[in-house]
Amino acid sequence: MDQQIIEVAVQQPLGNRAPEPPIHKINIGSFLKQIKKDKSWKDNDRNALTILKTSSMRIVLYAIRKGAEMIKQKKDGRITVQVLEGKMVFNSGGESVKLGSGQMLVLDESAAYSLVAGKKSFFLLTFTKACIEQ
């Protein structure tokens, strides 16, 4: 099934941009409620919601059903995966790591990865600037 990404971040025009604020306060609970109620989540095995998009970082909330798999090609830059609810297996470089609620991992630069949900899961994926530019 196709993955739908809903852009929540305000899109600014190209050219002169206002400076980014020094602090971004994010209510993860409200975004979890939003993604769980989204029609795309009810109709598909995965969904995504961009909750922060800046020039140097992007944070995306993913929802993925049991057995669904995400495969990503190599990216330059680090990513983090933080499981909010559920269980999954994260694979990269011939290694597999089981992750559950409250666990987080950091993936080094230029590493391809995949993950498979062991049960319905919600997680944050954070991309650094190098990943965003590709």
Degrees, nearest 5: CA angle 85-4-13 = 110
Pick the CATH number of 26-132 from 3.30.70.3270, 2.60.120.10, 2.120.10.30, 1.10.15.40: 2.60.120.10
pLDDT tens, N- to C-terminus, the chain (134 residues): 444 444 444 444 455 666 777 888 899 999 999 999 999 999 999 999 999 988 888 999 999 999 999 988 766 778 899 999 999 999 998 999 999 999 999 988 778 899 999 999 999 999 887 665 55
- pLDDT at res. 12: 47
pTM for this structure? 0.80
- pLDDT at res. 84: 97
- pLDDT at res. 51: 93
CA dist., res. 19 & res. 54, Å (int): 10
